[in-house]
Structure 1
Amino acid sequence: MNDDVFLPGRLATLCVPLKQVTEPLSAGITLGPQRAPNRHPGRYLRVANVRKGWIDTSDVATLEEQKQDRPRYELVRGDVLVVEGHADPGQIGRAAIVADEHSGLLYQNHLYRLRFTGAVPEFAVLWLNSPYVRSYWMTRCATSSGLYTINSKLLEEVPFPALDEVEQGRIVAAYAVVERRIAALERVRAKFRSAEAALAAEVFANVDSPWLTVRLESIATVCAGVTLGSEPVGDATVELPYLRVANVLDGRIDTSDLKQVRILRTQYERFALRKGDLLLTEGGDLDKLGRGAVWDGRIDPCLHQNHVFRVRCGEEMSPDFLALYTSSDAGRAYFQRVGKQTTNLASINSTQVKHMPIPVPSRAEQEKLLGPIRSVRSRVAAVDRQLSKLRAIQQVVLEDLLSGRCDAGHPDVAARS
């Protein structure tokens, strides 16, 4: 069955359709104007709540709960939710298990609920999020208007390993060994991040500071980037990677998903990034205006989009110190004060960025203040490297367990982590 899906070793002959180990699957509540959240509010999970392997309840929406909803859509411990549609094809079909703290919540129609009768739910989540099932969806998902979707029939036919539940439990336990080590490192990382935030706050805590305050435009140049659409063609053009708003996060640049844009070669210097450029976002939620980070030059050449401002400092200002200030309470307050708020979006313009008042201690004092913060950041970077290594090991362990290349009880499983 499904011979175009890569299934390793023994799984090529051991898989059965998913529907053989579950109750009939069920989609959730269809939302509509007839459901007013303020009348008989019921909390429900959306696509945004179902992450890869876990459920995020930091932002749970409400709808008007009707008496027929609970028998059909109430979640219980051990249910598995699967994402039905997403703008990113790599995110469709991602799955997470319902834990005790999620019991009693409802779920929307863009999620499928699975109740397993012949499999360990935790194992099912590992399998549904695996590269093997990802390859299944990449060749079968439908796409329309920029949205990728899967249907219930395809989900019911997903190849599922016909391993006994004892072996499934062993695989879950072996995977969890690495998961616990990752969680411990993430707690260490969070402590370092808290220490970094505290040190940064101390730098600007003294409101009576004698530092000179000037407009940003007097110590740096501010430029918008490439405007997308109507790209030029011909030999006088070049196609290059560029950073968009989604790549510029608070305190870091994410280059895991870079897109390309074509520009005239003569425009390169205008839009090119250099190591040490501070990148600030133009729009988003009001409290996220001006979020940004210093570009480390990891990709060269690289451009930036027009919704990302490039700030290039002069000799008297350290990019790291400027980034520290723009992300401080005072910096964020400025962006929130001058930002333009519309129904769904807030934004700032280049003039407002240029006019931002910036405290300017001497360059020597900037470096002194940055010292402890850079020390903490180096520790965060070391933890990040360990996390990346562990996550890679975790994936290899899972693939080896599923393929039968190693046994869940073998000491090598723990040794590799």
Structure 2
Amino acid sequence: MAVIEIVHWRDLQTWVVPGAVMTGDTWPLMPLAELLTPLTPPAYEPKPGELVRFAGVRWYGKGVFVREERMPDQISAKCYPLIPGSLVYNRLFGWKSAFALVGEEMSGVVVSNEFPQFEVNVDRVLPAFLNLVLGSPAFAPIMLARSTGSTAVSRNRLHVGDLLDLHVPVPDLTEQASIVAEYESAMRTAEEAEAAAEATRIAADEKFLYELGISMVENSLPDGLTSIAKFSALDRWDVESAGNAMTSTYSFELLEKHAEIRLGCQVPRRGAVSNGMVERPYLRAANVQRGWFSTSDVKRMYVTPSTAEALRLEPNDVLFVEGNSQTEVGRAAVWERDDDTIIQNSVVRARPHDDLDPYFAMAWFNSIPGRRYFAENATTTTGSLWHIGSGKVGRAPIPAAPWDVQQELAATHKESVTRANVDAVKAREIRRNAISKFATAVFGLEASLASNEVEESEE
């Protein structure tokens, strides 16, 4: 007779993902309590008038970054200085592998009490190796299982005690160094390919803007005096001319004059699906990148037949990200497929009329001056998620170049961007392969498990 034993997850002395097989029988599993020592820096006391920089930790081991700056009177809770050389994580997003090593460049930057820091036991593990383990997408499900809270997004914390109870595979230091060196070498190659892609894109944008006669002009007075005015009073986006902020060979007109603007629909709440609704693939903000689409994770939802027809994408539709960070909101790409895909309400569709080339529109709105409108006009209630809205997308200014000029500039720009995308795809493949190889070597997972694209975020 078979006997089934039921135990609490936290009592299991393993962290192996279901379906995974451990490699290297000689690699011992060690508790993080033996590899990490909690640090307790004193609370930071900002000086009067000091601009205090707060850090965040990106998901999946992508590093520490300066998230925001505050004046002392805007700080309501205790904050703590980052300690260079330490390992830090975000308790709210431990389940997203939000771990990072603190570099010297973060000296003087602070964090809230949601960001515990640790000293790494370098006699047992290399900080870089441990950071790769904890920041790996393959390790995230283990930390999710140990996180507790009411909601996954805002209250699902990975507490220090639960973290330190976890076990990780630890080869000898020599093998750790070899694994880290191979991983970092691959990432450097990926960065080189990304740099080449970016250089090609920059050159393409510069040529595109030069041909349009775009010139940025600073507002100033004689003798080096600076004019100060309310932001709302500036005519920076006058649609008849670019005012004092920008000049162009062509006048500016509203996008809605040259395209039909439409916001996507909200995903129905669970249980709201009724008879007669149809299932459709849909694009959300994560799918619409700057000049291309990420279609490795296209989700599906049920909508009414009329909504499916109204939101169905057609070739040459220009799609804009409606909500994202202030620098990413409004990024655009041209849809080329003819299928049943629709859009969710984090995406705005612009369907060009016959007088607007879609690739010309994409090139303009992905350029620095074209993006500036979205950065300046987006709004936020959270400080991190910005929205532009379909109305503001429709009022976005675009140079009213003649059709033949649009086509010529768009064709030249598209050719360069296509070359850049080759390098960008190469970089992504190198990164995926490096992540997959690391997961296979350390966790014994199938390569495909770790090769899936993970969300880009700055949490």
Which category describes the TM-score, using the shorter chain as reference length? 0.7 to 0.9
What is the TM-score of this pair, normalised by structure 1?
0.77
Match of 2:31?
17
Structure 2 distance, partners of 1:41, 1:358, is 37
Deviation at 1:22, TM superposition (A): 2.2
Question: What is the aligned counterpart of 2:416 among 376, 394, 397?
Answer: 376
Deviation at 1:289, TM superposition (A): 6.1
Contact 1:77 1:98 in 2 (8 A): yes
The aligned runs of 1:8-407 (5 Å cut-off) are: 8-10=22-24, 14-23=28-37, 25-26=38-39, 42-46=52-56, 49-62=57-70, 64=72, 73-86=80-93, 91=96, 93-117=97-121, 118-147=124-153, 148-205=156-213, 209=249, 216-229=255-268, 233-255=273-295, 257-282=297-322, 290-297=330-337, 300-328=339-367, 331=370, 339=377, 350=390, 353-354=393-394, 358-402=398-442
Structure 2 distance, partners of 1:54, 1:340, is 26
Which residue identity lines up with residue 309 of structure 1 in the other structure? V
Contact 1:10 1:403 in 2 (8 A): no
Deviation at 1:287, TM superposition (A): 7.2
- Closer/same/farther in 2, CA of residues 347 and 52 from structure 1, 3 Å limit: closer
Deviation at 1:379, TM superposition (A): 1.4
Deviation at 1:175, TM superposition (A): 1.7
Contact 2:84 2:106 in 1 (8 A): yes
Match of 1:410?
none
Structure 1 distance, partners of 2:386, 2:134, is 37
Which residue identity lines up with residue 190 of structure 2 in the other structure? I
Contact 1:251 1:292 in 2 (8 A): yes
Structure 2 distance, partners of 1:2, 1:195, is 51
Structure 2: 5+ residue runs without aligned partners? 1-12, 215-246, 446-459
Contact 1:37 1:62 in 2 (8 A): no
The CA deviation string for residues 145-175 of structure 1, in whole angstroms up to 9 with x for no partner, is: 3433211122102212232223222221222
Structure 1 distance, partners of 2:367, 2:187, is 34
Structure 2 distance, partners of 1:161, 1:109, is 28
Match of 1:409?
none
Which residue identity lines up with residue 439 of structure 2 in the other structure? E
The CA deviation string for residues 289-346 of structure 1, in whole angstroms up to 9 with x for no partner, is: 644222233x942211345331112333211112233445665566678x58576687
Partner-residue secondary structure (3-state), 1:119: coil
How many residue pairs get aligned? The number is 389
Deviation at 1:10, TM superposition (A): 2.3
Partner-residue secondary structure (3-state), 1:142: coil
Deviation at 1:265, TM superposition (A): 1.8
Which residue identity lines up with residue 91 of structure 2 in the other structure? E
Partner-residue secondary structure (3-state), 2:280: strand
Deviation at 1:270, TM superposition (A): 0.4
Structure 1 distance, partners of 2:137, 2:116, is 20
The CA deviation string for residues 96-145 of structure 1, in whole angstroms up to 9 with x for no partner, is: 11222224543322222121123110110111123442231233322423
Partner-residue secondary structure (3-state), 2:180: helix
Partner-residue secondary structure (3-state), 1:115: strand
Contact 1:11 1:403 in 2 (8 A): no
Which residue identity lines up with residue 312 of structure 1 in the other structure? R
What is the TM-score of this pair, normalised by structure 2?
0.71
Match of 1:411?
none
CA RMSD of aligned residues (A): 3.8
Contact 2:143 2:163 in 1 (8 A): no
Structure 1: 5+ residue runs without aligned partners? 406-417
Partner-residue secondary structure (3-state), 1:310: strand
Structure 2 distance, partners of 1:170, 1:335, is 45
Deviation at 1:202, TM superposition (A): 1.6
Deviation at 1:362, TM superposition (A): 4.4
Partner-residue secondary structure (3-state), 1:399: helix
| More displaced 10-residue stretch of structure 1: 236-245 or 55-64 | 55-64
| More displaced 10-residue stretch of structure 1: 132-141 or 340-349 | 340-349
| More displaced 10-residue stretch of structure 1: 73-82 or 94-103 | 73-82
| More displaced 10-residue stretch of structure 1: 1-10 or 278-287 | 278-287
Identity of aligned residues (%): 24
Contact 2:61 2:134 in 1 (8 A): no
Contact 1:74 1:104 in 2 (8 A): yes
